[in-house]
Structure 1
Amino acid sequence: MEEKEADDKRMDFLKNYTLNSLKLTQDKWREFLAVKENHKLVGNFFDQADVIYPLLTNKDNMKEWPKVVSEDVIQQTHKLKNEASVLGGLIGGRTVLPLPENAEVLEGTSPVCRLSDAIDSKLMHAFETVIIDWTHQISEVLKKDSAQSIFYELNPLPKAEFDFWNDRLKNLECIHEQLMNPKVQKMAEILETAESVYWPALRNIFKDVREGLKEAENVILYLTPLQKRLDEMENVEYSLLPSHIKAVMYTVALTWANSEYYCRPERIIVILQEISNLLILKTENFLGPEEVMRGFHQKDEMLGKIRKGIVTLVTLRETFDQCRLSMDRFFKGKKTKNWEFPSHLVFTRLDAFLQRLQQIELFER
């Protein structure tokens, strides 16, 4: 047995359980695994997420069980499978929509899928149950906001905004792909034909996901040029930052003017706060807390660095004001939508940091 397999705790568990249950020796287990087909069978059992599921729902294993017990076992096993799938999706950053119990009847060849047939009430209940679950899951995805990290005072950088929208798009694409599954489409057809009260809810799920996809695609389209500008700015020497700030701020204004979904104060405030956080961080790294303290002994050198920091932060403030006062130029004939939000919503942290630098600069003159 390979070293990897020897360290596999799942294999140890299965071996010990089998040998103890059947009162067998270690040699029997080694003989069992020596057969290539058996070795492959055990590997498949571990690697496939639903090998266990057919085992627990096989009606041949329940012939002597009371009907109520077998039905409960099948129901609970399906519920466990769905919960494991949803959890596995969350761990991977994706939303997994659980399928209804007995979803196999939604295969196109199944007689129950002939819409002229009466649909079993238990099956309809299973459909309606998952629609409630899907509604909650998708609502959780769509209500997430990139501003949450700011609310928690985590001082995020622009990368957080770009990562948020890229992850959101990938997750919504994953959800949309699941909704396009033939089984889900057949389920929708059945609910619509049966005039179920849950059909409008499912229809809204399709609509919300499509709109969410459109929004994420649009936002990423217009954030991509801004991301390139910020990447360039991050990689330049500190003394060159002021020359890049104007290009960054103009790109923010163009995003505001052209993106159908990013022209909202709450969106633009977030990215401007994150840009401010980036410049604060770069200024802190440029100055260095220890360097500032040593500046009392190396006054001229430290004073020069502090003044560079002040110039950089003031440049951001001034460029923001310039864009704000000349917003017409970015809309090019369209109706202008101005930045009417108070500037302190963007620059509270930057202004406080700038004020501290100005106080140190005044003290060290």
Structure 2
Amino acid sequence: MAEATGTSSNSGGAGGVRAAQEPSLKAGGVLSDERVDFLREQAFCVLRVKTDKWNRFIGAEENQKIILDFLDHIWTNRLAFNAVESIPTVVASVKTSPPWKTKLLCVLKKGVKRIARQGFRHQLRLGEVPGYPMEHLPVVISEVLVCVLSNGLNHEDWPRVVSDDIHRHLEKLRSRVVTTRGRAEGRTLLPLPLCVERAQPRDIVLGSVQTLIVQWSGQIWNILKKDSGMMLHQGDHPGPSVELQFWATQKENLLGIQSQIQSPKAQHIMEILRRVKSSYYSSFKDICLKVNEAVLEAEDIDLYLRPLRRLISNLEERTFPQVDALLPPLFHTLCLIWSCSQYYCTPQRMVVLLQEFCNLIIEKAFAYLIPEELFKMELEEGVERVQIAISVLCTFKQLFHTHRQRIPEYYSHSQAIKLWDFPAALVFQRSDRIMERLLMIKELFATALDFLKLEKVELGGSRGKVLSEMVFSMSEEFHDRWRALRESKYDSLDYTDDDFVRHYRRFMEQNRDFDQRLGTVLNLAFQHSKNLKSTFKVRLSLRVPFNNSNSLFRDMLPCDSGKRC
């Protein structure tokens, strides 16, 4: 990658680089430029770029422009080359590029605005920046800067105050670099004081050690107080894989901290504190004991959570209707973890894990139902999908209550039994709200299946035509209302959005009005039936459309026609 960056000149804008209008570049002019040849030689040497790759790179007009802008214009003062998979690519920007993974070749202007075509080598400053510079920066500070500044010959004329102040700033800089590198790598690195490494006088050592102990304590406490349920408390909905990954990472992090505080240099620091009877000694010793306990806890939990990996993988890979069969072995494994793990058998941790499994099932249900398309699919398909989702959620909750009662069976006679005595509402708070929405949607679908069949109803008798037109009119009206519901933009399964609930209530109120109007039509149809045969014809004409649905009208019919029958 080649990148041209720099500060804007008076001719450039504040928002970026402004180039003068130029005719199209010619590859021949660039290839015959000795300055470009020099850059090519450096790229060959530093980045190990092959000739064909460079020719492909320099043949692009945009790449030629970036290089010539750096050489001939004042608005760029830095050029960076980076070989990505041995293919150099070029990016022009007024900002530093994102982190790179391979070696970087940097070319800087040395106090000039334009690079001359002759005798230009003394106008350029070349440098190599390794990939992942955060790994090298602490070494540069401790092995280069500290060595230079700690040599008394380099600052003989400096006041002692200035020398000490520079050392303190170096200490802070190195400490920040080490901790930042650890964060970037996802682990905790405890910086060692430079004065200990370089055996400086005792008063300087003690002050630096006590400062570092305070920093170490803060870093370690931040790890010890980490909670796997933090994302749940923040309102996110993580799955169980997050729980397993948390404890695997926590174990590795704590083992790393334990290794660092047990290293010879850290033990030397502890010995210094002990000898001077520092108040920091006992407090940090307590922290070290807590680290050892936390390591045992993380190792135990990580060990017993591992069997869940295959179950989670199966849950994620199976189709949603097949999830039912995987739930019994899941709860069996959870009960074994509860009864066998020394550290995971607490209500707080089991509630978090169960909530995360609920989230996984809910996410699979959403993917299966496709909430934004739920009301747009065929009614029969929508009813089937909603029913399957309700069945899976109910099965999960039923298995929870079943295994909750069977917890004592997982303990031997010599073990103290710990029950799942936490409220079920803590586990199913979200799934219960999703269930409420699913039941509403199921009711809407059932109602729609009934009313959308009104168009098939034909009533006979003396007033059959009029009554049939009334039924058809109601059918058309219901079609319009159902179409409005299908075209709605909100997510019907988002329980934080009340728009669907308001629409549902309004829809059901209108349905009750339809029930009354339809009941009136049916009464009129039966009243105008001349004999038993015509009465049964009316009943049959109404039975056919609602034969396979849970119709409200089937319960209505015998009451209205009982006297005639």
Give the TM-score range, shorter chain.
0.7 to 0.9
**Counterpart contact for 2:43–2:105, Cα < 8 Å:** no
Q: Deviations over 1:213-265 (max 9, x none)?
A: 11111111111112221211221122211110111112112111111111111
Q: How far did residue 272 of structure 1 move?
A: 0.4
Shift of 1:350: 0.2
The whole-number CA distance in structure 2 between the counterparts of 1:304 and 1:288 is 13
**Separation in 2, partners of 1:147, 1:201:** 28
Q: Displacement, 1:141?
A: 0.7
Match of 2:265 in 1: 183
Distance in 2 (CA, whole Å) between partners of 1:162 and 1:326 is: 25
Instruction: Tell me the residue number matched to 2:190.
Output: 97
2:68 pairs with 1:27: no
Contact 2:179 2:191 in 1 (8 A): yes
Q: For residues 295-306 of structure 1, what are the structure 2 equivalents within 5 Å?
A: 295=377, 298-306=378-386
2: CA distance, partners of 1:19 / 1:86? 38
Q: Which amino acid aligns with 1:332?
A: S
Of 404, 414, 417, the match for 1:336: 417
1:313 aligns with 2:367: no
Instruction: For 2:122, give the aligned amino acid.
Output: K
- Do 1:57 and 1:77's aligned partners in 2 also have CA atoms closer than 8 Å? no
Distance 1:202 1:280, change over 3 A: same
Contact kept, 8 Å, 2:109 with 2:123, in 1: the verdict is no
Matched with 1:270 is 352
Write the deviation string for residues 80-100 of structure 1: whole angstroms up to 9, x where unpaired. 111111122112211111212
Maintained 8 Å contact 1:19/1:26: no
**Cα deviation, residue 194, structure 1:** 3.3
| 1:342-357 alignment runs, 5 A limit | 342-357=423-438
**TM, length-normalised to structure 1:** 0.85
Which residue in 1 is equivalent to 2:93?
Answer: none
- Say whether the 8 Å CA contact 1:131–1:201 is kept in structure 2: no
Q: Letter of the aligned partner of 1:67 in structure 2?
A: R
2:323 maps to 1:251 = no
Worse-superposed segment, 4-13 or 50-59: 4-13
Matched residue, 2:80: 7
Counterparts in 2 of 1:331 and 1:94: CA distance versus 1, 3 Å = same
Q: Any idea what the Cα deviations from partners look like across 1:328-354, whole Å, max 9, x if unmatched?
A: 012232221111111111101101111
How many residues are aligned here? 339
Cα 1:19–1:43 shift into 2, 3 Å: farther
Do the aligned partners of residues 60 and 18 (structure 1) sit closer, same or farther apart at CA in structure 2, a change above 3 Å counting?
Answer: farther
RMSD: 2.6
Is 1:59 the counterpart of 2:152? The answer is yes
In the superposition, relative to structure 1, how do residues 19 and 69 fare at CA in structure 2: closer, same or farther (>3 Å)?
farther
Judged with a 3 Å threshold, the aligned counterparts in structure 2 of structure 1 residues 146 and 155 are, in CA distance, closer, same or farther, namely same
| SS of corresponding position for 1:7 | strand
Secondary structure of the 1:2 match is: helix
Query: What residue in structure 1 maps to residue 404 of structure 2?
Result: 324
8 Å CA contact retained: 2:251, 2:295: yes
SS in 2 for 1:133: helix
Deviation of 1:60 (Å): 2.6
* Larger radius of gyration between Structure 1 and Structure 2: 2
Q: Which has the higher helix share?
A: 1
Q: Which string of whole-angstrom CA distances, capped at 9 and with x for unpartnered residues, describes residues 48-67 of structure 1? A: 32324323444332111111
Give CA-to-partner distance per residue, 1:3-56, whole Å, 9 cap, x none.
Answer: 88651578647x445889xxxx741366x86xxxxx78x879x77323243234
Q: Work out whether residues 94 and 171 of structure 1, in 8 Å CA contact, stay in contact via their aligned partners in 2.
A: yes
CA distance in 2, matches of 1:29, 1:215: 61
TM superposition shift of 1:196: 2.4
Residue type of the alignment partner of 2:404: R
Cα distance in structure 1, aligned partners of 2:123 and 2:410 = 74
In the alignment, structure 1 residue 76 sits paired with structure 2 residue 76: no
Query: Residues 93 and 354 from structure 1, CA distance in 2 versus in 1: closer, same or farther, beyond 3 angstroms?
Result: same
Question: Structure 1 unaligned runs (5+)?
Answer: 34-38, 107-111, 113-118
Measured in 2, the distance between the counterparts of 1:122 and 1:331 equals: 58
Letter in 2 for 1:84: V
TM-score by length of 2: 0.56
81-90 or 192-201: bigger deviation: 192-201
Cα distance in 2 for partners of 1:88, 1:158 equals 29
The 1:339/1:59 distance shift into structure 2, 3 A limit, reads same
Instruction: Return the letter of the residue paired with 1:320.
Output: F
In the superposition, relative to structure 1, how do residues 140 and 18 fare at CA in structure 2: closer, same or farther (>3 Å)?
farther
Match of 1:48 among 136, 139, 143: 136
Alpha-carbon separation, structure 1, partners of 2:211 and 2:284: 11
| Among candidates 225, 239, 245, match of residue 321 of structure 2 | 239
- Is the aligned partner of 1:139 residue 2:227? no
Cα distance change, pair 18–215 in 1 and its aligned pair in 2 (3 A): farther
Q: State the shift of 1:287 in Å.
A: 1.2
Distance across 2 between alignment mates of 1:72 and 1:327 = 63
* Alpha-carbon separation, structure 2, partners of 1:236 and 1:355: 25
Question: What amino acid is aligned across from residue 186 of structure 2 in structure 1?
Answer: G
Unaligned runs of 5+ in 2: 1-41, 48-78, 82-95, 97-103, 114-118, 447-565
What is the one-letter code of the residue matched to 2:393?
L
Distance in 2 of aligned mates of 1:27 and 1:90: 40
Question: Matched residues in 2 for 1:222 and 1:308: separation?
Answer: 32
Q: C-alpha deviations, 1:68-121, integer Å up to 9, x for none? A: 111111111111111111122112211111212412146xxxxx8xxxxxx823
Aligned amino acid, residue 427 of structure 2: V
Partner Cα distance (1:288, 1:11) in 2: 50
